[in-house]
Amino acid sequence: METAGPAGGFGQTERMDRVRMALVEKNGYEDAAFRVSEAQAGDYLALLKPRVMSLVVFTAFVGLVTAQVPVNPIIAVVSILAIAVGAGASGALNMWYDADIDAVMSRTADRPVPSGRVLPGEALAFGLFLSAFSVMTLGLVANWLAASLLAFTIFFYAVVYTMWLKRWTPQNIVIGGAAGAFPPMIGWAAVTGQIGLESVIQFLIIFLWTPPHFWALALFKSGDYGRAGIPMMPNVAGEASTKRQIFAYAVLVAVVGILPSVLGQASATYGVFAAALGAGFVWYSWKVLRMPDVDRVMRPAKALFGYSLLYLFAIFAALLLDSVAARLGAPVW
């Protein structure tokens, strides 16, 4: 297994050599820097990580709606679009920097940069350009607090997580998870101009949800991460410790998930629904905790990974519906 060094992993020169070698080996390009691009528009779209983007759009939208502030629908739509493009830009910067490790992981080997369809420099320029444009647009359309939060999110994901934490510590996705947790807070700030307790709780739900989600994936993809030299928790602390930590975070997510109801921000109906969802999360994590060490198929870990996606979507959908019902004056218990 190749290990990443403590000072941020591979050096810049070594990293670029790896990308170049991946391009040469895979596509037979003698010098990738001097070829004419064959990248399709769809390859640039793929750089934006559309699936992650869809989650960002959804959670930012929930943050925006639950703020319960009247807002022009055009301003709301453009704000969400700017947040989505900003998130996509950070994805492009991530793919630029991580091309060397993406090339050796089965899940990511076909991404535009490691596959040679887009050159590293093109991905970098695309990411920087969209970062600047999305932040400026959000600042002009909504307000500069929301734009600052978006800029910080891009910086946190592309620099703090991708360049620093990811190759250095098994706590990478714990701390880096903050980047994925900011969108509802940005959506909230876009319409209120401030950071409310409600948006902090939405941040916490995603922040605490991230470790069990990614560690469930890391359990059954540990070979991939090991080959790439990424110090994920199962590779560093072992599977037993990872399973215990997954369970602990699942309990925390379940508790934080019902806080909006406890603090009077959401209805009791939401609270009951969130409690049931949280109990499901704890149950699936318990199954992972009880998973025998000899189990290499790891169905419980795969089931938890799938459930975690459902959980996040469902809990934010519940917050959204609860907020809309309250706004419409619907009789919700």
Partner 1 sequence: MNVMEDDKVNLTDTQKKARRGRSVAIAVALVAFVVIIYVVTIVKMGPSILERPM
Residues that bind partner 1 (CB under 8 A): 29, 35-41, 44, 72, 74-75, 78, 81, 137, 140-141
User: Is there a contact between 270 and 314 (Cβ–Cβ < 8 Å)?
Assistant: no
What is the Rg, in whole angstroms, of the alpha carbon atoms belonging to the chain?
Answer: 21
Smallest separation, CB 191 to partner 1 (Å): 14
Closest to partner 1 by CB, 116 vs 260, is 116
Smallest separation, CB 196 to partner 1 (Å): 23
Closest to partner 1 by CB, 130 vs 274, is 130
Closest to partner 1 by CB, 36 vs 294, is 36
d(CA 272, CA 278): 10
Q: CA angle 217-250-232, nearest 5°?
A: 35
Closest to partner 1 by CB, 172 vs 192, is 192
Smallest separation, CB 30 to partner 1 (Å): 9
Closest to partner 1 by CB, 113 vs 179, is 113
d(CA 225, CA 231): 7
Smallest separation, CB 194 to partner 1 (Å): 19
**C-alpha 72 chain-centroid distance:** 28
Smallest separation, CB 28 to partner 1 (Å): 8
User: Is there a contact between 305 and 216 (Cβ–Cβ < 8 Å)?
Assistant: yes
User: Is there a contact between 155 and 59 (Cβ–Cβ < 8 Å)?
Assistant: no
**C-alpha 133 chain-centroid distance:** 21
